[in-house]
Amino acid sequence: MDNVSLGVIGCGVMARDLARRCVRLGRVRIAAVYDSDPDIAASAGVELVAEPVFDVGELCNRIDIDAVIIASPPGAHLEGVLAAAAAGKAVFCEKPLGISVAECDRMIAACRNAGVPLFVGHVLRLFPLFRHSIRLCRDSVIGKVRGVAITRTGYSTEFHSGWRSGRAMAGGLLYEVHVHEFDYMRALLGRPTRVTARLDDAYRKMEYEDTAYVMVEFEGGGTGLLHASNSSPIGEYNVHIHGSEGNMVHGGFGGNLRYQTIHGVATEVSLSEIGGQNPYDRELGSWIDSLTIGLEPLFTGEDGRMAVAMAECAYRSAGSGKPVSISEVLTPSD
Ligand SMILES: NC(=O)c1ccc[n+]([C@@H]2O[C@H](COP(=O)([O-])OP(=O)(O)OC[C@H]3O[C@@H](n4cnc5c(N)ncnc54)[C@H](O)[C@@H]3O)[C@@H](O)[C@H]2O)c1
């Protein structure tokens, strides 16, 4: 395929941004858009110069569509992916892939059986400080990575109403937001084995927790810690990576990255020094290249499923008060 004709499912903030970026990147046109709210579909149609349609199956079955972007709420991703797979259309699905491993399994199986590729938008890994930290750690600048502690806290009233406030569509804080951090932990530490978590709901503004403390154990002995909350008027983002010969800290979406070995001198790199392509353009470029010239995609359904598995283990652990093995939520053949 030389050019890609796209359908968009869910036409909110993220979908419109992704669609506009695809068009700017070239080789892409938006043919049709669908949203469960017809007024939103109609306005997206005007904005993206695409035909609004009012049924997800109708959108996926159009012969002028090669692929779909799914950016509906997480609890609706399953419906979109299954409709796209049934119609033989390639899929870009926003994170989280689903709000349970069982949902992810259904999506991956449907796409595999239909022979369509499934890409999941785990863009966090591509933000400059995250991307640079992964590269430096793979170059062993602090020795072998042994652990990572991430704090991501804030207070967004966006979570207090609409689909983000409910479990049915958001899944919970760890699905809707922090699959990003779980995916980043995997990029640094490999395969997760066991998760222990405690949750809290200090302000009771959503149907689910507003604070989570999660410990993830990895094959090879690595440890990941996540402190996440949407109950922190003083928000912060910071990452601390421990290596066998030194450590690295960075500020996530802003600030600098610093690292030092025990006997070395500190090295500091600023966001602007790292530079590089916009992370969303980079992920979409990878997706389009995978469809048009067959390049290996940056992220697949399996990446989406593993991040969801870590979140699901955390919820089970918080419920039981015990550590939960990844093997308990994945099938034995995994
Ligand atoms: N990767 C990132 O940086 C990032 C950032 C924000 C959001 N997201 C993800 O993007 C997705 C959408 O988030 P958003 O911020 O655009 O939300 P949004 O509320 O702006 O948009 C969601 C849209 O989906 C529509 N919708 C609801 N149910 C639907 C259904 N069953 N079928 C089709 N459309 C439906 C709504 O009417 C709305 O227009 C979520 O999965 C979210 O986690 C990712």
Same domain, yes or no, for 139 and 246? Answer: yes
Q: To test ligand 1's pocket by mutation, which of 13, 34, 124, 183 has the most ligand atoms within 8 angstroms of CB?
A: 13
Query: Within a domain: residue 301?
Result: no
Same domain, 99 and 135: no
| Domain identity same for 157 and 172 | yes
Q: Which stretches of the chain are assigned E, i.e. beta strand?
A: 4-9, 28-34, 51-53, 67-70, 90-94, 118-121, 145-153, 192-200, 211-218, 223-229, 236-243, 246-250, 256-261, 267-270, 324-325
What number does the ligand 1 atom closest to the CA of 180 have?
A: 1
Residue 11 counted as domain residue: yes
Say how far apart CA 75 and CA 73 lie, in whole Å.
6
Beta strands in 181-235 (DSSP E): 192-200, 211-218, 223-229
Residue 190 has pLDDT above 60, yes or no: yes
Q: Which atom of ligand 1 is nearest to the CA of 169?
A: 28
As a whole-number percent, the residues of the chain with pLDDT over 70 amount to: 99
**Does 226 fall in a domain?**
yes
Same domain, 22 and 155: no
How many Cβ atoms sit within 10 Å of the Cβ of residue 246? 18
Any residues with CB less than 8 A from the CB of 311 and at least 6 apart, and which? Answer: 96, 171, 172, 174, 175, 178, 179, 182
Q: Find the 102 Cα to ligand 1 centroid distance in Å.
A: 21
Q: What is the CATH number of the domain that holds 86?
A: 3.40.50.720
Same domain, 107 and 128: no
Query: Beta strand 28-34 with 51-53: parallel, antiparallel or unpaired?
Result: parallel
What span, in angstroms and rounded, lies between the C-alpha atoms of 280 and 282? 5
Question: Nearest residue CA, atom 19 of ligand 1?
Answer: 12
Q: What confidence score (pLDDT) does residue 331 get?
A: 76
What number does the ligand 1 atom closest to the CA of 11 have?
A: 39
pLDDT above 90 as % of the chain: 97
The last residue of one of the domains, among 89, 121, 153, is 121
| Same structural domain, 185 and 224 | yes
**Would the pLDDT of 333 be above 90?**
no
Residue 282 falls within a domain, yes or no? Answer: no
Residues 114 and 135 in one domain: no
Residue nearest to atom 17 of ligand 1 (CA): 12
Q: Is residue 334, in this structure, part of any structural domain at all?
A: no
Same domain, 100 and 231: no
Query: Model confidence over 197-252: pLDDT tens digits?
Result: 999 999 999 999 999 999 999 999 999 999 999 999 999 999 999 999 999 999 99
| Shared domain check, 129 and 111 | no
Q: Residue 1: what pLDDT?
A: 79
Q: How many domains does the chain have?
A: 2
Instruction: Specify if 303 maps to a domain.
Output: no
DSSP string, 231-283: --SS-EEEEEEEESSEEEEE-TTSSEEEEEETTS--EEEEHHHH--S-HHHHH
Residue 244's CATH number: 3.30.360.10
Question: 171: CA distance to ligand 1 center in Å?
Answer: 13
Residue 238 lies in domain? 124-277+308-329
| Amino acid, res. 18 | L
Domain boundary among 121, 141, 171: 121
Ligand 1: residues within 6 Å at CB? Answer: 9-15, 35-37, 40, 71-74, 76, 79, 94-95, 121, 123, 176
pTM, rounded to two decimals? 0.98
| pLDDT of 175 | 98
> In angstroms, what is the span from residue 119 Cα to ligand 1's centroid?
16
Q: Are 272 and 128 part of one and the same domain? A: yes
